[in-house]
A and B are shown apart, each in its own frame.
Chain A
Amino acid sequence: MLYREAGDFKTSYRADQQTFPIRSERILFWAFIVAAFAVVPFFINDYWEKSVLIPFLVWSMAALGLNILVGYCGQVSLGTGGFMAVGAYAAYKLMTAFPEMNILLVIVLSGGVTAVVGMAFGLPSLRIKGFYLAVATLAAQFFLVWVFNKFPWFYNYSASGQITAPERLLFGVPVTGPNSPPWATYLVALTVVFVFAWIGKNLTRGRIGRQWMAIRDMDIAAEIIGVEPLRAKISAFAVSSFYIGIAGAMYFTIWFGAVEPTEAFGINQSFRALFMVIIGGLGSILGSFLGAGFLVLLPVLLKNLMVGQLGWATDIASHFEIMIVGALIIFFLIVEPHGLAQLWRLTKEKLRLWPFPH
């Protein structure tokens, strides 16, 4: 009853090609967005902000970026952590060098800087494919983290080697630093993610997205039908790094406020983003959100269950968590290689026919 396409007639090509062609789906989506923008900010508190919502939004952004590269263009990258570090350090340098600059502009410009770095590290993808490329992107991961540790210019010669986000206002409300109210940081993150998810969705539907998918499905065949591999691959690296850089900038400015490269942007973060993309669904924008939500919520739930309810030691809980994440990856790859997004698609199919499946 909730989900019907009967009576939903299209009179133009435009209406037929929209992102959500079914009316009830559109209503559901906008209701969700309105709730996220207008209802959640009134109920948000510090715990929900710092351990659920902001992590979810930041990781969605990173997963979105990685999904564009891995899911749409088929180039496996293990350098996400390194690119997030570029975004974070670019944001830090911009914030300290231009104190007057709007924080939103800082975040977007950090994405731009990361895109340039990403393009440089994407160049080998023209020669190197598959596993060899995955390993080659590890070079970016290790090299970038090393650079940010090694050259004091990046952390403004601070004694601890850490970078700390100074307080910045947006419409008179602090959105970075320790005094920022939860609803403000949440709204900033939500706005950024919403805008770029919307752009991402339309990019992947358009010409450039089709080029990426052609390269993913078979690069030689794509080249023969006139897709330029150089442009397609490098643009995928650029867009992907742009998103990941924004995620890194938000990770640093509005989530943690102070980071140190080795821990915050290590290889584990690269794997984490990759897991989100796999569990969520390769080649799906919605999947990036589902995967991020899943992997952000799972540890919180497990921790509440094992440490809070059963009273186990935290180290046992964390070992269990790693095991469960690993097992889930395998489980998803075996049972549903297209991830949570595919489950949602199947659910929709079922709902369409409900309550008369035959």
Chain B
Amino acid sequence: MSPDFLYFIETVLNGLMSGVMYSLVALGFVLIFKASGIFNFAQGVMALFAALTLVGLLTGQVPFAHLIHAIFGVEAQHWGAGMPALLAVIGTMVVMIALAFLIERIVLKHLVNQEPIILFMATIGLAYFLEGLGDLMWGSDVKALDIGVPSGGSFWWEDVTREWAAEGSDYFGMYIDKLDVTAAIVAAVLVVALSVFSQYTRMGRALRAVADDHQAALSVGISLRTIWVIVWSIAGFVALVAGIMWGSKSGVQFSLSLIALKALPVLILGGFTSIPGAIVGGLIIGVGEKLAELYIGPLVGGAIENWFAYVVALVFLLYRPQGLFGDKIIERI
């Protein structure tokens, strides 16, 4: 095979991998949107918050250390000992569930029956609040996250692909990050687990009922508020997974919350209401972005990754306003 073709494959593969990372974030959006009709802008910040909490627990940071120092003058940055990874993950999950509970109690309860756009804006407010809270609790410096997820290039794959290249060409093999492969596997497991959960458990059936029709679900005795807490907890879990993956990849820092902005075009491409849509949309955007950067980028001066996905999604929406797999939009007077 010619090196050019191999480059192409490498680009596509890497695009697929980064697409999976986008899908991980988009999944959280879809879950909440399906169950409550809320477009949760805070999903990206939730991922950041989860990752920050995880790092804080792992390294044994004292929450609000800077604030305590500012008010009481007590200098206490660390407990002195961290937690094992598994315990820290469980601890973070508990925090995310508590967060889901609080969000339902303090915010959503009061906004039932409001227009979707009001709820959307409330989640923007939530995003700001969580962003400030996360920084205040754990500090705003860039942190490394390492809980033993494999990372770095795969040498085995490099060797295999070097064999494929034509004799005498200077092709050095494909670069595939092990972390990306792990993320892809995790995402696959997550999607399967979520579909099994929603298809075969009692709670999952209740979730689907609520997604279908709020009032009908209420009338057969499903508690909306419980369901919302559960859905936000699951979204918190997905955020945690996304936070771990993105955090291991590029460090835990503020820019992590911006992945939400990356996930938005994925969402509108795949449709707000479809889990497979989130995955397929993520893959399309991932591959499209990488290919565009490779082939169109040089023509216009590069760095088009920022907006390319949006333009693709925008053009696409003009033909199909509900996205690839979204429910058909029916409008009535």
* Residue contact B107 to A127, C-beta cutoff 8 Å: no
The answer to whether B110 has its CB under 8 Å from any CB of chain A is yes
* Residue contact A323 to B129, C-beta cutoff 8 Å: yes
What is the CB-to-nearest-CB distance from B322 to chain A, in angstroms, rounded to a whole number? 8
* Residue contact A131 to B313, C-beta cutoff 8 Å: no
In the complex, what distance in Å separates the CA atom of A135 from the CA atom of B318? 13
The answer to whether A267 has its CB under 8 Å from any CB of chain B is yes
* Residue contact B70 to A316, C-beta cutoff 8 Å: yes
What is the interface residue range for chain A against chain B? 35 or more
The answer to whether B265 has its CB under 8 Å from any CB of chain A is yes
* Residue contact B317 to A136, C-beta cutoff 8 Å: yes
What is the CB-to-nearest-CB distance from B107 to chain A, in angstroms, rounded to a whole number? 6
* Residue contact B333 to A323, C-beta cutoff 8 Å: no
The answer to whether B152 has its CB under 8 Å from any CB of chain A is no
In the complex, what distance in Å separates the CA atom of A313 from the CA atom of B67? 9
Q: Given the complex, which residues of A lie within 8 Å of B70, measured CB to CB?
A: 310-313, 316
Q: Which of A127, A310, A319, A324 contacts B321 (CB 8 A)?
A: A127
The answer to whether A330 has its CB under 8 Å from any CB of chain B is yes
In the complex, what distance in Å separates the CA atom of A271 from the CA atom of B321? 24
Q: In the complex where A138-B310, A326-B125, A334-B110 touch, is A315 in contact with B303 (Cβ < 8 A)?
A: no
Taken residue by residue from 131 to 147, chain A's Cβ proximity to chain B (1 for < 8 Å, 0 otherwise) reads as 11011101100110110
* Residue contact A142 to B136, C-beta cutoff 8 Å: no
Q: Given the complex, which residues of B lie within 8 Å of A145, measured CB to CB?
A: 306
In the complex, what distance in Å separates the CA atom of A307 from the CA atom of B140? 18
In the complex, what distance in Å separates the CA atom of A324 from the CA atom of B131? 11
In the complex, what distance in Å separates the CA atom of A134 from the CA atom of B274? 19
Q: In the complex where A278-B121, A310-B70, A319-B140 touch, is A326 in contact with B129 (Cβ < 8 A)?
A: yes
* Residue contact A131 to B120, C-beta cutoff 8 Å: yes
In the complex, what distance in Å separates the CA atom of A142 from the CA atom of B305? 10
Q: Given the complex, which residues of A lie within 8 Å of B301, measured CB to CB?
A: 150-151
* Residue contact B307 to A132, C-beta cutoff 8 Å: no
Q: In the complex where A138-B264, A146-B303, A334-B111 touch, is A128 in contact with B321 (Cβ < 8 A)?
A: yes
What is the CB-to-nearest-CB distance from B299 to chain A, in angstroms, rounded to a whole number? 12
Scan residues 241-293 of chain B and give those whose CB is less than 8 A from a CB of chain A: 261, 264-265, 267-268, 272
Scan residues 277-336 of chain A and give those whose CB is less than 8 A from a CB of chain B: 278, 310-313, 315-316, 319-330, 333-334
In the complex, what distance in Å separates the CA atom of A312 from the CA atom of B318? 50
Q: Which of A129, A150, A328 contacts B300 (CB 8 A)?
A: A150
Taken residue by residue from 241 to 277, chain A's Cβ proximity to chain B (1 for < 8 Å, 0 otherwise) reads as 0000000000000000000000000010001001100
The answer to whether B188 has its CB under 8 Å from any CB of chain A is no
Interface size on B, residues (CB 8 A): 51
* Residue contact A323 to B140, C-beta cutoff 8 Å: no
The answer to whether A199 has its CB under 8 Å from any CB of chain B is no
In the complex, what distance in Å separates the CA atom of A132 from the CA atom of B329? 12
* Residue contact A321 to B110, C-beta cutoff 8 Å: no
* Residue contact B331 to A220, C-beta cutoff 8 Å: yes
Q: Given the complex, which residues of A lie within 8 Å of B311, measured CB to CB?
A: 139, 143
The answer to whether B158 has its CB under 8 Å from any CB of chain A is no
The answer to whether A214 has its CB under 8 Å from any CB of chain B is no
The answer to whether A346 has its CB under 8 Å from any CB of chain B is no
The answer to whether A166 has its CB under 8 Å from any CB of chain B is no
What is the CB-to-nearest-CB distance from A66 to chain B, in angstroms, rounded to a whole number? 13
* Residue contact A146 to B261, C-beta cutoff 8 Å: no
Scoring B126, B136, B323 by chain A CB atoms within 10 A of each residue's CB, the highest score goes to B136
In the complex, what distance in Å separates the CA atom of A32 from the CA atom of B304? 48
Q: Is the interface of B mostly helix, strand, loop or mixed?
A: helix
Q: Which of B107, B120, B307 contacts A146 (CB 8 A)?
A: B307
Scan residues 85-127 of chain B and give those whose CB is less than 8 A from a CB of chain A: 106-107, 110-111, 114, 116-118, 120-122, 124-127
The answer to whether A58 has its CB under 8 Å from any CB of chain B is no
Scoring B135, B140, B267 by chain A CB atoms within 10 A of each residue's CB, the highest score goes to B135
Q: Which of B111, B310, B318 contacts A333 (CB 8 A)?
A: B111
Residue of B nearest to A322 (CB): B132
The answer to whether A76 has its CB under 8 Å from any CB of chain B is yes
In the complex, what distance in Å separates the CA atom of A33 from the CA atom of B301? 49
* Residue contact B333 to A124, C-beta cutoff 8 Å: no
The answer to whether A6 has its CB under 8 Å from any CB of chain B is no
What is the CB-to-nearest-CB distance from B132 to chain A, in angstroms, rounded to a whole number? 3
The answer to whether A159 has its CB under 8 Å from any CB of chain B is no
What is the CB-to-nearest-CB distance from B39 to chain A, in angstroms, rounded to a whole number? 5
* Residue contact A334 to B107, C-beta cutoff 8 Å: yes
In the complex, what distance in Å separates the CA atom of A130 from the CA atom of B317? 12
Q: Given the complex, which residues of A lie within 8 Å of B307, measured CB to CB?
A: 139, 142-143, 146
* Residue contact B310 to A142, C-beta cutoff 8 Å: yes
In the complex, what distance in Å separates the CA atom of A124 from the CA atom of B310? 13
In the complex, what distance in Å separates the CA atom of A347 from the CA atom of B310? 44
Would you list 26 pairs from A and B whose C-beta atoms are within 8 A, ordered by A residue?
A128-B317, A129-B321, A130-B117, A131-B116, A138-B264, A139-B307, A139-B311, A146-B304, A149-B303, A150-B303, A151-B301, A221-B333, A310-B70, A315-B135, A316-B67, A316-B70, A319-B133, A320-B132, A322-B135, A326-B126, A326-B128, A326-B131, A327-B129, A329-B121, A329-B125, A330-B129
Give me the 8 closest cross-chain CB pairs, A-B, nearest first. A329-B125, A326-B128, A326-B129, A323-B132, A322-B132, A139-B310, A142-B307, A330-B125
Known pairs A136-B317, A323-B136; list 19 more (Cβ under 8 Å).
A129-B321, A130-B117, A267-B261, A271-B128, A316-B66, A316-B136, A319-B140, A320-B132, A320-B136, A323-B129, A326-B126, A326-B127, A326-B131, A327-B125, A329-B121, A329-B122, A329-B124, A330-B126, A333-B114
